[in-house]
Amino acid sequence: MSPQRLVGIEEIRAARERLRPVLRPTPTYASDHLERMLGRPVRLKPEHLQRTGSFKIRGAYALISRLPPGVPVVAASAGNHAQGVALAASLTGRRATVVMPAAAPLPKVQATRAYGAEVVREGEGIEECLALAERLATRTGAVLVPPFDHADVIAGQGTIGLELAEEAPDAEVVVVPVGGGGLVAGIAAALAAVRPDVRVVGVEAEGADAVRRSVAAGRVERIERATTIADGIAVRAPSELTLAHVLAHVDEVVAVADEEIARAMLVLLERLKAVVEPAGAAALAALLSGAVPGSGPAVAVLSGGNVDPLLLIRLIEHGLAVEGRYVALSVDLPDHPGTLASLAAALARQGLNVVSVEHRRPAVGRPVGEVQVVVTVETRDPEHHGEIARALAADGFRVALLA
C-alpha cells in the first residue's frame, strides 16, 4: 500500500468553519433505556436528523465548497451520498449530476432530484454507476465527488469527531458505522488530536466486512460481494486513503449480523422513537450484541435515517421475530368441522393475537384424515413461546414450535 497523507486537525477545523452555516445541530443525548439494557452510560449522535437525513452533507459540502464558482459536480451513489452532493451543489450554486443504480429506491431518487440534482439511473450496482460518473466528469469537465476517497470528504466527516469531544467529554468509546471508511476515518482523526484517550471502534456488517479484512491484511482487500440489509455500508473495499486512517487511528473494527442490526432498529424505533436506516443502526447493534465490551460511557453514531418505507416494514417484522415477539406453531388436527375453532378458542384463552393461519391439506407425512395448521401469534419474548406450547399440549393438541 502506497504511503498516504493523513488528514490533520487543522483541516477538520477549517471544514467545521465552512460547514457552520450549513449544518443542522445534532447534539448527542443520553438514553436511560439503553443504559439499563447495557449496564453502561450510552449517548447517541443523531446524524439521521442531519440535513438530507445523514452525515453525508458534511463531506460533500466540505469538498464542493472549495471548488471554483460554477464548476459542476458529478457523483455516483445509491442514496445518502447522492442527496448530500445534490444539496451541497445547490447551496453553492452549481449544477450536479448523480448516477444512481437503476433499481435505487424511488424515495431516494425523488429526494435527490428535489435537492436540485439531475439523476441518471443506469447500471446494476454502484461500481457501474461510478464508472459512468467518471466518464461524465471527463467528458463535461465536472468534478467527481467521491463518497469517501478524498481528504476534504474525510475532513468534513471529521467535524462529527470535534462535536463528540465537546458533547460527550466523558466518553470512553465512540462506535461508528463503517462502509468505505470515510466517516470513521474523519471521526478517528479528529479524536486522535483532541481526545486521544477515547477508543474508536468501527462497525461493519458481517456480509460486507472489507475494512476488517483489510486491517488484518495491512492492505486494501476487496470482497467479492457485499451482502447485507445495510445498503449504506455495503461496500466491497475501502480506499488506500481511508484504510490508512483506520490503521493509524481506529482501535478496532468489529462486525455485526443483519439480525443484530434489525434488532437495533427495532429498539430505536420502539423505545427511542428514532427512525434509523440499517447502516445507521450498526453502531448500536455492536453495543447491544456485546461486540464492544466495557462499562464506561459509550457513544453510538446513528449515521443516517433514509430508509425505504417498504423496507422498513419488512425490517420491523424481522426485528420483531429476532426479539422473539412472534412464534410459529405447527398443530396437527383431525380433519373434521370444529377442530380449527377449538384451536382458535384455546389461543384466545391465552390472550394471544393471531397474525396468520395456514391450513395445510393434505399434510405430507401425516395420516389421511388429519391436517396441519401453522399458526403465527404475537408473543412477549422467547420464554413465552414454551408457555404457549405447553398450554396447548395441556388442552390436548399435538403442537411443535417452528424455528
CATH of 9-54+150-320 given 3.60.20.10, 3.40.640.10, 2.40.50.100, 3.40.50.1100: 3.40.50.1100
365 vs 359: CA distance, rounded Å: 15
Q: Which three cell numbers stand for residue 87?
A: 444539496
Q: Which three cell numbers stand for residue 99?
A: 448516477
Q: Which of 56, 77, 214, 289 is catalytic?
A: 56
Tell me, yes or no, if 108 is annotated catalytic.
Answer: no
Instruction: Report pLDDT for 367.
Output: 72
Domain 58-144 CATH class label = alpha beta
Instruction: Report pLDDT for 402.
Output: 85
**In the chain, where does the domain assigned CATH 3.40.50.1100 lie?**
9-54+150-320, 58-144
Tell me, yes or no, if 45 is annotated catalytic.
Answer: no
DSSP bridge partners of 333:
371
For residues 369-385, one letter each, b for 16 or more C-beta atoms within 10 angstroms of the residue's C-beta and e for the rest, the string is ebbbbbbbbebeeeebb
On whether the CB atoms of residues 343 and 333 are closer than 8 A, the answer is yes
235 vs 140: CA distance, rounded Å: 27
Q: Which three cell numbers stand for residue 330?
A: 405447527
pTM: 0.86
Q: Which of 31, 214, 289, 303 is catalytic?
A: 303
* C-alpha separations of 369 from 32, 331, 339, 345, 384 in Å: 55, 14, 12, 22, 31
Helix (H, G, I), strand (E, B) or coil at 355: strand
Architecture of domain 324-402: 2-Layer Sandwich (3.30)
6 vs 342: CA distance, rounded Å: 70
On whether the CB atoms of residues 396 and 330 are closer than 8 A, the answer is no
In single-letter form, the type of residue at position 54 comes to S
| Segments of the chain scoring below 70 in pLDDT | 361-366, 403
Helix (H, G, I), strand (E, B) or coil at 391: helix
Instruction: Report pLDDT for 128.
Output: 86
In single-letter form, the type of residue at position 63 comes to L
